[in-house]
Amino acid sequence: MARRLLVLAIVAGLVVIGFQNCGQVQFTATSQLKGMSGPAILINGGARFTKSANVTLTTSSEKTTEMYITNDPNCHTGGLWEKQTPSSPWVLGQENQEARVYGKFRTVAGGEETACVEARIIHDSISPDVQFKTTPLNPSGISDGAFEIDAQDSLSGVDHLECRSGQDPFAHCNVVVALHGLTDDQHSFQVRAVDKAGNMSADLDYDWLIDTTAPTVQITKMPLSLSSTALASFEFTGVDSGSGVKSYLCQIDATPAQPCTSPMIYMTLASSIHKFQVWAQDMAGNTSAPATYQFTIDNVPPGNFNITGVTAPPDDTKVDTWLKGYTPTVYWTTSADAVNYKVSILKQDLSTACAEQTTTATNFGFTAANCTLTNLTSYKAQVVASDSANNSTSTVFNFVVDTTPPMITLVGPDVTSNPQSATFHFSVADQTPGELDTVTCYRTHNGQTVQQSCDGLTQITYNNLDFGDQTFKIVADDKAGNESTQEIDWKVTPLICDPFAAITGDCKGGLVGDLFYLDAALQTQFNALPQQTVQFFYDSGIKIDATINLSQLLIPTRNFDQGFPTSSGNTIKNSAGTTLYEYFAMRLNSFLHLDMSNPDPAQQDQEGNYEFALISDDGAILKEKDDANSAYSTIVTNDGNHSVRMGCSSKTVSMLANVGRAIQVEYYQGPRYEIALTLMWRKVAAGQTAGTDPLCNKSGRDLFWGPSPFNNYTNAYGYGQLVDRGWKALNPKNFVAP
């Protein structure tokens, strides 16, 4: 057995490596050449191994001169007798195994031959085989490298190993090689084996990377530091300049770290403070320091709250349903944990009416620049409270914009037999059902006002009124704060009830008017006029502080010396204190209607064109108009001082069912005592002309009702003749008080 020791110098340090191998070769020779007298052969000087078939033979035999060299073990064939020489070349007959050479010697040809001797040597031309049993990891996270080498040779056996690290020269080494103090870099190691025949294996290479530097890792995308969502997504990246990043480990809170990839998503995190960590690992097994991110999940919404009301300038009263104005201010209570509020106004289809605004206060006033509202429209005020994590709680408030005041219809006062009692009829409505809030009635007299609620009423009656000027006012307010007012000024005066009737009426007639008279001085002026007219009474006469009421105008010629009794029991007197029965005038107002009350259609007034006539003593005028806003036009003129005369209209008036026409009758009586005032009409047939009756403009004290007592209604006189020709005195149902 042979032992060799190899000392190998490595760049990174001094490593002592030993290699041990044993090989045995057997030789069978007749004798040793040196010191032996018998014949002998040596191959390559007695070497144990050869890698070449071409060898050198050394022969020795005393007292011989020729030799016979052969590969025949019996020395019979295969050779030639030749001159014996101490050394000669030979080609082995066997390769890669134990080879033998045979020979014999003699002195002369044909002489005695020596015995056949042999020489042996192992022929080995096959290189040994070398393998790594162990190597460093590639890449490796340590600065040392350890190799274990396995070399095999089946013939001559391994003689030794040669190793080198990097570009160092090869040096003998053992089967175990340890390298220390290597730097972070790419490294190489080579080994080759040499057998005892001198064959050398091919170089066996091993390259590996040493990387002892840990990678770095960075979180590149993370959730907000404060978030309301239970989902958290992280993106991260690692950097390693050596072996490269191999994998990552992630950890959330105290749970075990686990392998992960980017992005790492956590789906159902609780509302709390959380800590996320990620590590990068490189191919060499180095682990980075963790990248850490701490964040808070808060998915608990702010506290509940409510909108307390909405206002609109200039009114600052909070309303609960209706709003009077187009620039609302919304008020709400505080929401716990809220950091801001988003307020908007929505239409019923949830489209935007007032753009969303953000505030930290608990109210916000919109302006015309960011809000467009329309009247009589429903809206929703919406406020969304948000906390720091953007959790939200919302509340909605419904309201209606209403800038239209309630509608009031007021009629009155009713004329009754008692002028000191007045009834007003009214209706109050709002365009938005259910919005009407309060209705209040006021009556004022001599600076004193009496107020009372008229909620739910349609009329109100005042009794025991003092004579004089009065004002009735009704005020309606809706819940949006809109207000309407209607008022009527009237005067409580004595009431003259149908003084020309045989029986005094109940003062519910359809003709209502004023009474005028002339004192002595005015009578003189009047009589001096070239033409007397009723207008003089209105322009210059004295107005009686009383109201006259008539049921109809059917006053035939009659004496009038009783004057005008009033509802208070007194009789109207002139300024001289005497009873008024001459030089007086009336101006009566009414609404003229067709009388459709009779169930027999033939007895009803028929729609059509009508002509009119006034039979009067003295002057009388009939005027009419289509509506309250137009001026009166004169229909019949029968003015001036004259005896009983019939004045006729020169045009017709269209009368329709259920359509009234405002009329005014002006009448005056000059010197005492007889008076007459009758209003008649007749439907005009197609093609017939108004004002053509034979009695038009005819006059005479007895012409129409006969002589005193003037009560003949037959056709013996004018009135009966008129009736026969289709004329009719208007009855009380044709008149409706204004």
User: DSSP letters along 36-61, please?
Assistant: --S-EEEEGGG-SEES-SEEEEEEE-
Extract the tokens encoding 139.
């890449």
Q: List 371's β-bridge partners, or say none.
A: 354
Q: Is residue 302 part of a domain?
A: no
Task: Enter the DSSP assignment of 285.
Answer: S
Q: How many domains does the chain have?
A: 5
**Do residues 300 and 336 touch, judged by C-beta distance below 8 A?**
no
Give me the amino acid identity at 186: Q
Residues 1, 118, single domain; the answer is yes
Residues 57, 75, single domain; the answer is yes
Q: Which domain holds residue 443?
A: 407-492
Residues 222, 365, single domain; the answer is no
Residues 530, 671, single domain; the answer is yes
Residues 381, 428, single domain; the answer is no
Tell me what pLDDT residue 545 has: 87
Extract the tokens encoding 734.
């044709």
Extract the tokens encoding 80.
């030639």
pTM of the model: 0.49
CATH classification at residue 473 = 2.60.40.10
Q: Is residue 241 part of a domain?
A: yes
Extract the tokens encoding 565.
């009794």
**Do residues 408 and 390 touch, judged by C-beta distance below 8 A?**
no
Longest CA pairwise span in the chain (Å): 223
Q: Which residue's entry shows tokens 């071409």?
A: 54
Residues 6 or more apart whose CB falls under 8 angstroms from that of 664 comprise 587, 588, 589, 622, 623, 624, 632
Taken in order 640, 646, 648, 653, is the CA torsion positive or negative? positive
Q: Compute the 3-state secondary structure of the chain and give helix, strand, coil in percent, each to the nearest 5.
A: 5, 50, 45
In whole angstroms, what is the distance from residue 64 CA to residue 733 CA?
191
Extract the tokens encoding 224.
């907000």
Q: Which residue's entry shows tokens 């309303």?
A: 319
> Which of the residues in the chain have pLDDT under 70?
1-37, 318-320, 415-418, 502-506, 567-568, 628
In whole angstroms, what is the distance from residue 558 CA to residue 466 CA?
35
Residues 350, 275, single domain; the answer is no
Residues 315, 431, single domain; the answer is no
**Do residues 672 and 618 touch, judged by C-beta distance below 8 A?**
no
Tell me what pLDDT residue 259 has: 98
Q: Is residue 201 part of a domain?
A: yes
Q: Is residue 305 part of a domain?
A: no
Residues 135, 147, single domain; the answer is yes
Pairing assessment for the beta strands 307-312 and 329-332 based on DSSP bridges: antiparallel
Tell me what pLDDT residue 407 has: 94
Instruction: Among 385, 401, 417, give the residue marking a domain's end.
Output: 401
Task: Enter the DSSP assignment of 434.
Answer: T
Residues 6 or more apart whose CB falls under 8 angstroms from that of 403 comprise 324, 325, 326, 375, 480, 482
pLDDT in tens, 513-545: 999 999 999 999 999 999 999 999 999 999 998
The torsion angle over the Cα atoms of residues 11, 12, 16 and 17, rounded to 10 degrees, is -80
Residues 201, 229, single domain; the answer is no
Nearest to 361 by CA among 333, 323, 387, 337: 333
Residues 697, 676, single domain; the answer is yes
Q: Which residue's entry shows tokens 């609620």?
A: 453
Residue 719 φ then ψ, to 5°: -60, -45
**Do residues 680 and 727 touch, judged by C-beta distance below 8 A?**
yes
- The 3-state DSSP class for residue 544 equals strand
Residues 208, 291, single domain; the answer is no
Instruction: Among 269, 297, 325, give the residue marking a domain's end.
Output: 297
Extract the tokens encoding 87.
């050394």
Tell me what pLDDT residue 67 has: 94
In whole angstroms, what is the distance from residue 233 CA to residue 197 CA?
69
Residues 6 or more apart whose CB falls under 8 angstroms from that of 245 comprise 215, 238, 239, 280, 281, 282, 283
Residues 6 or more apart whose CB falls under 8 angstroms from that of 630 comprise none
Residues 195, 238, single domain; the answer is no
- The 3-state DSSP class for residue 101 equals strand
Extract the tokens encoding 38.
């018998």
Q: Is residue 574 part of a domain?
A: yes
Nearest to 186 by CA among 167, 166, 213: 166
The beta strands (E) that lie in 518-567 are given as: 542-550, 554-559
Instruction: Among 184, 212, 240, give the residue marking a domain's end.
Output: 212
Q: Is residue 658 part of a domain?
A: yes
